[in-house]
Structures are given as C-alpha cells and as structure tokens.
Amino acid sequence: MITRPEIKRTAALLVVLCLLAVSAVGTGVAQETQPAAPSQPVITLRAVADDAVYEGVLAEYCWPTATGSLRCGTVPDAPEDSIVVEMGDDLEVVVESEAGLPESVTVRLADDPEEEPVADTTDWTVDLEPGVYEVLVDATFPDVNAYSFVSYRFTLEVSAPPTPTPTETPTEEPTEAPTEAPTEEPTEEATEAAEATEPAGTEPAEPVTPDETETPGAEATSEVTAEPTEEEMAGEEAVTPTVTLMPTQEIAEAEETEAPAETPTPSKPEPELPLTGPPPVMLQSGDVAFASLAVEYCWDNAAGERECPPGQPSDEGVELLGVPPQGAFLVVVDGPAPLAVSLALFASNGIDELARETRLGDALLLYSLPPATPGSYIFAVEAEWPEGIATYYFPVLILEPEPEPQG
C-alpha cells in the first residue's frame, strides 16, 4: 500500500511523476473500487479588509477523470488582472472542492528555483517587498488519489503602505479696522470771506422753480415723439419693396422604364486554398481533447520549396492521456483529411518502436492500444497532405488493470 510519506509531495514533483511513470492506482497492489471522482477544485484569494474575492488561473494539476483515469497537465496562461495589495495586507486562500478540505495548502513564488513556500496555511499576511509577483497556490488531496492536486496562479502587485503627512492649521492674520477721515465744518471766518468776494450792489438771485425753467432740447423731444403725418406714411409706403414671384416651369417627369431582369449565373465553387502549415491533430478520450506535445514537419513554402524547420514544442499546456490496458481513443484532425496516416506506439524514450499501423487518410480515426505493460509511452501520428508531411507526438499513460471484485 502507499505510505504516508509517498502521499505528501510538492506540486512540481507531482507533475514530473505524472508525465514520466506514474500509475493512477499506485504500486499495483489490489485496491478497492473507487466511486466516481469529484469535480476538480477551484482556488481563489479573498482580501480580509474589504472581503473582495480574486480569481486566478489553473497552472498545474493531476486529477482523476469521470472514467477513473488520471489526467495531469500544466497550463501556461497568466491572469489578466493583477491583485493590488499593500505590505502587511491579510489574504485568505479559499478552496472550493467537492472532495472536502485539502490535506495541505502552500503559497510559493513562481520564479523561486528553491520553491520555498512563503505560506503553508490558508491565512497569509503579505510580507513581500514592493513589486509585481507571480504566486502559485497549491492544494493536495491524497484522499481522492495518491497524486491528486491542483495549483492556481495569481499576479500580485505589492505596494508600500502610504506614509501619513502632517496637516498644518492655517493661522488668521488680524485685520485693521478702517478709519474714517474727519470732515471739517465751515467756520464763521470762511463764511465772511465768501460774502466779501461778491460784487457790491448785486442782489441775490431768486430761486427758479422747475415749472419756470425751460429744459434744453424740449423741442427736439417733441419732434421725436410726434406721430408721423399722412404724407410721411404715404412716403414710407412708396419705398416699401415688393416681391414679384417668377412663374415656375413644369418639368415633365420621365416615364419610368423597367430594366430587363438579369438572369442569375451559377456561382462556381471556390477552390480550396493550400495549407500554409500542418493542421492541429488531437487525441480525444470521452469528451476531453489532448493536444500534441511536439510537432515535426516538412512543408511547402510560398515559392513551392519544401522546408523542414526544427521540431516545434507545443505552446499550450502539456496534458497526459491516461487509458486502461488495451483501451481506445480517437485521433482527430482539425482540418482537411490527410492522404495517408501512420499510427505508432513508442517506449517512453521515444526511440523503441512497439507497434505501427497504416491507415487511409481520414480526419477521424479510432485507435486501440496493443497489449502493453502499464507505464508511460509516446504515441505518434504521421500524416501526409499534398503540401507536406507532419508527425505529432503525444504522451500516453497505460494504467494498471482494475482489480477483479472479490467474491
């Protein structure tokens, strides 16, 4: 039976074991039949201060499928949004799982070669220096399967806490009250001096009332406010411009003539464009599709010359297809059907060929595994099109046979 130390492993070691030689049922000792596997867990981060929940992206995993086979892989996607936090903020790791609580939860930096965890619990106080970090959160579930785990990636943007600045209290300057200039009252001496300046024998002028005073410009005012005379009215009417409407010419409408109906010409089918590169090929087991690990090809360029670039590793996540002994899966071509297809099974070193089949070209093929011992293998699909040839490589894991029920 699998011992306790074998169950507790780091996420990186679990992926390596799954891709090389891991069996879904352990060491081959008879085990009890397991019920249907629960769905794969999801990990999120929650900010304790404002209760905000942040989603990450799946980075690595090993989890049993509905058929009981073990599916492992890595996903190179990065989160679209960053989580903005300050030094000292508290974050909580939230694991949503039908399999219950994980046995262990660790938080580590993605670019740390030592993979030392910065936290080994669901409560994490951010103690990182200001900067941008890629963080991986791992959770293991040995009760589901000896190698079951999930790892999620988050992007953290850490900033230093703001330093409080002292506020100055404004002081009011005293304002001087305005002073009124003293007014001097006329004295008796000034009055006597003013009387002395008047010429002798003149009588003081009598005050003039407003009724007796003529207002300058009164005649002009009466002329302006006077109503116009009949002669003036007649003169104004004489200068009023008149508008004469010109006669309009009627334009004869052209009689509408019906255009002869065009007879539709049958459209010619467009010729198929040549492929500019090998189309994608996938393996499908149930409703799960698995991309190739690497592709080698020789293809015609725009000038018609055949070029053979070096092997192209997949830029997508590497997924391992686990199938039972002598199981079957589909080979799916996402594009035009090839002229011919050759299917081969190699040992894990990719050199020793164990079996090969040649088929007529088709975009959908069913392949049954030959008798082979449980372990890791390389499955190759060699296909030929008019524009070139390509070979696709897939990692395959043949599982241990299920134990027979004991009567």
**Residues sharing a CB contact under 8 Å with residue 318, sequence separation 6 or more, in sequence order:** 19, 73, 74, 293, 395
Look at residue 114 in the predicted model and tell me its pLDDT.
72
Angle value at C-alpha 249, between 243 and 253, nearest 5 degrees? 145
Reported as a pLDDT band with limits 50, 70 and 90, residue 317 is low
Q: Are 375 and 21 in contact (CB under 8 A)?
A: yes
- Is the C-alpha dihedral spanning 277, 353, 20, 113 positive or negative? negative
* Mean pLDDT for all residues in the chain: 74
Reported as a pLDDT band with limits 50, 70 and 90, residue 260 is low
Reported as a pLDDT band with limits 50, 70 and 90, residue 266 is low
> What is the Cα–Cα distance from 346 to 351, expressed in whole angstroms?
6
**E strand or H helix at 176:** none
pLDDT (tens digit per residue) in 120-156: 888 999 999 999 999 999 999 988 887 789 999 999 9
Query: Which domains, and CATH codes, for the chain?
Result: 4-159 (2.60.40.10), 281-398 (2.60.40.1220)
Closest by Cα among 288, 344, 399 to 21: 399
Closest by Cα among 352, 393, 348 to 17: 348
Look at residue 64 in the predicted model and tell me its pLDDT.
85
With 0-12 / 13-18 / 19 or more C-beta atoms within 10 angstroms meaning exposed / middle / buried, residue 151 is buried
> What is the Cα–Cα distance from 36 to 64, expressed in whole angstroms?
9
pLDDT (tens digit per residue) in 165-202: 766 666 666 666 555 555 555 555 555 555 555 554 44
In the block, tokens 């086979």 appear at 69
> What is the Cα–Cα distance from 378 to 75, expressed in whole angstroms?
20
Is the pTM value of this prediction over 0.75?
no
Reported as a pLDDT band with limits 50, 70 and 90, residue 7 is very low
**Residues sharing a CB contact under 8 Å with residue 331, sequence separation 6 or more, in sequence order:** 281, 282, 283, 284, 341, 343, 364, 365, 366, 367, 381
Look at residue 166 in the predicted model and tell me its pLDDT.
66
Look at residue 279 in the predicted model and tell me its pLDDT.
93
Is the pLDDT reported for residue 11 higher than 50?
A: no
Look at residue 294 in the predicted model and tell me its pLDDT.
87
- Is the C-alpha dihedral spanning 294, 298, 300, 301 positive or negative? positive
State the CB neighbour count (10 A cutoff) for residue 152.
25
> What is the Cα–Cα distance from 161 to 100, expressed in whole angstroms?
37
Beta strands in 292-387 (DSSP E): 294-300, 306-307, 312-313, 319-323, 328-333, 340-347, 353-360, 364-368, 375-385
State the CB neighbour count (10 A cutoff) for residue 20.
13
Pairing of strands 388-398, 319-323: parallel
Q: Are 367 and 281 in contact (CB under 8 A)?
A: no
b/e string for 121-138 if b means 16 or more Cβ within 10 A?
Answer: ebebebeeeeeebbbbbb
With 0-12 / 13-18 / 19 or more C-beta atoms within 10 angstroms meaning exposed / middle / buried, residue 170 is exposed
pLDDT (tens digit per residue) in 269-295: 555 567 888 999 999 988 788 888 889
> What is the Cα–Cα distance from 278 to 391, expressed in whole angstroms?
9
Is the pLDDT reported for residue 355 higher than 90?
A: yes
Tokens of 310: 């070096």
Reported as a pLDDT band with limits 50, 70 and 90, residue 384 is very high
Q: Are 294 and 393 in contact (CB under 8 A)?
A: yes
Is the pLDDT reported for residue 204 higher than 60?
A: no
User: Helix, strand, coil proportions of the chain in percent (round to 5)?
Assistant: 10, 35, 55
pLDDT (tens digit per residue) in 80-130: 889 999 999 999 999 999 888 999 999 999 888 777 888 888 899 999 999
Compute the CA torsion angle 348, 376, 113, 56 (nearest 10 deg): 130
